[in-house]
Amino acid sequence: MSCLHKRPKRTKSEEQVFQEQVKKVAKENGKLLGLEGDADLQFLLVGGELVKVRSGSWQKNRYFKLQEDCKTLWQESRKAFKKNQTFSIDDIDSVRKGRQSEGFQKHTDPSDEERCFSIIFKNHRKILDLMASNAEEAKQWISGLEKIITNMQNLSIQQKSEHWIINCMRKADKNEDNKMTLKELKHFLRQINIEVDDTYAEDIFKKCDTSKSGTLEGSEIKHYYELLTHREEIDVIYEKYAQTEGQMSNRELLNFLLNEQVEQVTMEYAHRLIEKHELDETAKQKKRMTKDGFLMYLQHEEGSILNPAHKNMYQDMTQPLNHYYISSSHNTYLMEDQLKGPSSTEAYIRALMKSCRCVELDCWDGANGEPVIYHGYTLTSKVLFRDVIKAIKDYAFKTTDYPLILSLENHCSVDQQKLMAHHLISILGDALVTKPLGDTMPTNLPSPEELKGKILIKGKRSNKLDAVFNNNSSVEEETVSEEDEAADCKENGQKSKKSSKIKLAKVLSDIVIYCKSVHFDGFEHAKDKQGFYEMSSFKEGKAFNLAESSGTAFIHHNMDKLSRIYPAGSRTDSSNYNPVPMWNVGCQIVALNFQTPSKEMQLNQGRFLPNGLCGYILKPEFQRSLSSQFDPNKLTKGPWLMKKIFHVMVISAQQLPKLNKDKPKSIVDPLVRVEIHGVPADSASEETHYIDNNGFNPMWNENFQFDINVPELALVRFVVEDYDTTSGNDLIGQYCLPLTSVQNGYRHVPLLTKRGDVISSAGLFVHLMLLDAQ
């Protein structure tokens, strides 16, 4: 089955030559990915028929194959009016083995388990459920796709860039003769997001067309590629230090690292960089770095804005649970809005795969005695409680071993509560915490380290925790007050016939250990009456008011207790509130709608980016020390006040994506905004001018300066937008991280989509310097 459509007819010999070219291209791309000659890759390049499953009645054979760029998957369409479809490997989030999707569970037989696999996309695209003819073929599809995804992710920025540009060139070569006409060159430039005037295009074409043939081929195309990808700003930096026969000696590299990058490193480290990044063996033997090696270093993790020492686990994980910010989701079951959107186990899987450590389960009586999860009093669809718990068991610890909290909003009858407890205990097994750690009544919360691999239940409990140790039994159907969030829903017009009290099944109550939900009656009451294991939930309005009026008291409350913040019920579109003011007063469980791509979720992703993406970040000392009088809204002298000046130079961007791919002549006009999010005194924003018609290699060289008072609470957010004179600017990409994780010096900044996925090969180049204020 051919992987291209609407080709001009070729003679037999032309087709033979073309197929040889296709094999050559596939081989080159396989080599770049480190998969040259790999059997699974060859299997995908040949392709085969798979059954595409959409419903019980719609299960149809379709041909799939990997295109020769090793980056695009082609699928056949048999509709007369519809083109054969393609999608990029970059768009795939994961490949799941077996009948794990809801579609497969509903529409296929358990006996087909080994033949099934699902492709999960990063965007809102529907899951692609596919069934191979046998288990062995399914394994090859899964193995091949996973290898390509992993190896693509592991390419350096330079390799990704090269791969992307070369494949854009091939697409621009309309007649596939491996030559480039001036017209094809102009088409290519638009493809890579750059608009140039005809004179410039002709000049660059003539400069490269040394054979005067009117087309570029072979070494001429290579010369053109080198001209196109030349980085003038890198030349300036490199030439300042490269004083040894035009190359950078090990001593000169060390000087660069000490003076420009402000890194406390040794000559041994400089040697390691040369060994790792230098491609020229002669230069490597002389312990020198060429310009290409220097660029490789800048584009690798050592040259990234994120401190490599913070990329993996680096924080103390042995402090009590309430000493950490905890990545938390609200209405986790929803894929979209809160009025009529679908509820799904997939929403839980996606949140857990983003290292979310607190998920919400809104539980109601379901048909046939089985409890369900959905947004009460609305038209959102329902999902079985049992199915959600199964999904949680499978995915709870895929990305991190640190504890997961299940926040139960319980509206069920006693009988269905008993069934909830049964499912939790039987499905989660030893992972479920059903009694306190140790043999005596604890006095504070255990640490994330002690709770590794464990799942905690947050919910109502009918007695105190010490009842576990003194054999104090409680009435099975104890009446408790309704969850605060449920009451909030009623306030917002979602009427309920139920009373504000519910009866609690003892078996469910007994597995609430460290996260007992209680109503908040003021900080003094909490200090005198609340146990360390008792925690309150605050809707955003109340929490923001408390943070504004009683910042220090809120911080002290959070020093020995957990607090959960949730969005107002009026946010029916699943929008989010700003989490930063809540972190500023030490709130741990700042629950956001993970299903909604937003600035607030990008800040959340930035907050939890360091420390191995484990979902836990240790709060600053001044939010944990009982002697602290810190108030984010009224800054006084104290250990939190470490005044800094943050210098940012936005130098350039590389290979920004086209936003309107349907219009070939649509080119972005990019600008960059740098934002600081932290205590109110530190919040600031600065913006570059926009550059006309250049998303490929725009250059700004603009300097900004930010005064920082409390660096330990500050986040830095870079935003790249497409300027529009008539409407709001469109987001091109963004990146956020804590200021304390920023590396000084010349750094590359990766760019993410609005949903937080990496934009392959795109990035910013900046110079950063965080200095003590005089």
Catalytic residue numbers, as ranges: 330, 375
Alpha-carbon distances, residue 717 vs 352, 423, 674, 698, 699 (angstroms): 24, 42, 6, 19, 19
Cα separation of 199 and 159, whole Å?
A: 31
The one-letter amino acid code at 210 reads T
| Sign of the CA dihedral with 607 first, then 610, 613, and 617 last | negative
Alpha-carbon distances, residue 319 vs 301, 446, 452, 590 (angstroms): 30, 8, 13, 19
Both tokens of 680, joined, read 């109110």
Cβ count near 5 (within 10 Å)? 10
Q: Which DSSP helix (H) or strand (E) runs through 431?
A: none
Both tokens of 16, joined, read 């033979």
Residue 178's closest CA among 137, 138, 146, 219?
Answer: 219
Alpha-carbon distances, residue 564 vs 320, 347, 530, 673, 730 (angstroms): 16, 20, 15, 31, 33
Contact at 8 Å (CB) between 752 and 733?
yes
Question: What DSSP state is assigned to residue 594?
Answer: T
Strand, helix or coil at 491?
helix
Contact at 8 Å (CB) between 101 and 53?
no
As to burial, measured by CB atoms within 10 angstroms (0-12 exposed, 13-18 middle, 19+ buried), residue 412 is buried
Residue 171 φ/ψ, nearest 5 degrees: -65, -35
Residues 6+ apart with CB under 8 A from 370: 384, 385, 386, 416, 419
Cα separation of 253 and 208, whole Å?
A: 33
Both tokens of 278, joined, read 């230098």
Spacing of C-alpha 291 from chain mean position:
32
As to burial, measured by CB atoms within 10 angstroms (0-12 exposed, 13-18 middle, 19+ buried), residue 198 is exposed
Cα separation of 287 and 525, whole Å?
A: 67
Contact at 8 Å (CB) between 479 and 501?
yes
DSSP structure string for 127-190: PEEEE-SSHHHHHHHHHHHHHHHHHHHHS-HHHHHHHHHHHHHHHH-TT-SS-B-HHHHHHHHH
| Sign of the CA dihedral with 705 first, then 710, 712, and 716 last | negative
The number of CA neighbours under 13 Å toward the Cβ of 767 is 14
| Sign of the CA dihedral with 85 first, then 91, 94, and 99 last | negative
Angle between helices 157-172 and 12-32 (to 10 degrees): 170
Contact at 8 Å (CB) between 643 and 773?
yes
The one-letter amino acid code at 473 reads S
- Alpha helices by DSSP H, 530-662: 540-549, 551-560, 580-584, 599-607
Cα separation of 50 and 141, whole Å?
A: 10
Strand, helix or coil at 251?
helix
Q: Which DSSP helix (H) or strand (E) runs through 227?
A: helix 219-229
Cα separation of 631 and 638, whole Å?
A: 10
Cα separation of 236 and 246, whole Å?
A: 13
